Amino acid sequence: MDILLKEKVDLMIENFYKLKKNFKWEHTLIKHFSASVHATKKRSVDVFALEDIKKYIKTNTSWTSYFRGINQFTLCTLLYLEEDYKDFFQNTIDLYEKMKNMGFKRSTYLPLAAYTIVKEVPKDKWSDALNRMQDFYESMKRNHFWLTSTDDYVFAAVLATTDLDVSQASEQIENCYTTLNKMGFYKGNDLQTLSHILAIGEESTEEKCNRATKIYHELTNKKMKPRYSGLATLGVLSLITPDVDKLVKEIKEVYDYLYDKSGYGSWSIDKSMRVMLASTLVADFYVEGLKKGVLEVTLSNSINAIIIAQQQAAVAATIAASSAAASSSS
């Protein structure tokens, strides 16, 4: 394993142990997400800072707010990484209200969509970004009326932060969806999400879809089959390197390393979550290489979009897994 990658993996593990000790009532998968996000930013967990942010969110929202519940600790993690978390949170609340006024529905995913735009778009460009988000979402709804719902808000926001033409990108999404289905992926919301991510890439539909399919099959052959709810992460992996064999080898190295650590084995988390965590750290390692110009791939106009998509893919997969776990235990 590359030494820099191993440092991030070890930091994630260390972060998780701190979170496990100090936030006993938070969902385990959310703690894994938080640990991984801190690690990708080369940050150690600050328990007291996270407690302060958690209290701040609670103080400044109602008990029915979607900024609480499953989102609260996720947002704590993301806000901790901001220079002025109070100002950033207020901006997120303000944008969230604008989204509701435009007709977006209150949901678990709308605060995360608001976060995405506040993170990536200057305040004086919010209106343009919101209009683009609405255009992307309406296009999704036209093409897949029964599939498109509030969980698509996040990736509509991700797409809105790019400079992609809405019409052309929407056509690219549909081409990817159709092509991937022909390659063996089942139709459904998860495949739609994968198509949203692939649309960010600048290669041809065939190249991107072939690579996504190859990565999926290679991971499966190595007994690391991704869960369909984690296909967004597969999308990010498909855009960051043409060398699938090396990519899968590195994911496998991280996966095996994690498996032997307390809190990451079969008794603690399921295989698909371990795959997602390993994939997230490897994807971040590659994205860092792209930013430094160490790696070459056709992403000249979309590195920032890949970075935010990488994070939101992890958020989406974690929330889906946490919600499913909560439902099965109730």
Domain boundaries, the chain: 162-330
Mean pLDDT score, 34-46: 95
Q: What pLDDT score does 309 carry?
A: 84
First to last CA, the chain: 40
Does 192 score more than 70 pLDDT?
yes
Q: What pLDDT score does 190 carry?
A: 92
Mean pLDDT score, 68-80: 94
**Range with the lowest mean pLDDT among 2-11, 225-234, 300-309?**
300-309
Does 293 score more than 80 pLDDT?
no
Does 291 score more than 80 pLDDT?
no
The whole-model pTM stands at 0.92
**Range with the lowest mean pLDDT among 70-74, 84-88, 115-119, 267-271?**
267-271
Does 295 score more than 80 pLDDT?
no
Does 330 score more than 80 pLDDT?
no
d(CA 69, CA 326): 12
Q: In which band, very low, low, confident or very high, does the pLDDT at 289 lie, cut at 50, 70 and 90?
A: confident
As a whole-number percent, the residues of the chain with pLDDT over 90 amount to 79
Does 310 score more than 90 pLDDT?
no
d(CA 288, CA 307): 9
Mean pLDDT score, 193-216: 95
293: region left, alpha or beta (phi > 0 left; psi from -120 to 50 alpha) = left
Q: What pLDDT score does 292 carry?
A: 67
| Nearest residue to 305 via CA among 172, 155, 176 | 155
Does 260 score more than 50 pLDDT?
yes
Does 181 score more than 90 pLDDT?
yes
Q: What pLDDT score does 300 carry?
A: 47
Listed in sequence order, the DSSP H helices in the chain are 3-22, 28-40, 47-59, 70-80, 85-101, 110-120, 126-143, 153-160, 166-182, 189-198, 205-221, 231-240, 244-259, 271-292, 303-329
pLDDT, the chain, mean = 92
Q: In which band, very low, low, confident or very high, does the pLDDT at 329 lie, cut at 50, 70 and 90?
A: low
Q: In which band, very low, low, confident or very high, does the pLDDT at 228 lie, cut at 50, 70 and 90?
A: confident
Does 101 score more than 90 pLDDT?
yes
- Which residue, chain included where needed, has tokens 């889906």? 320
Mean pLDDT score, 310-329: 74
155 token code pair: 């990736």
d(CA 126, CA 137): 16
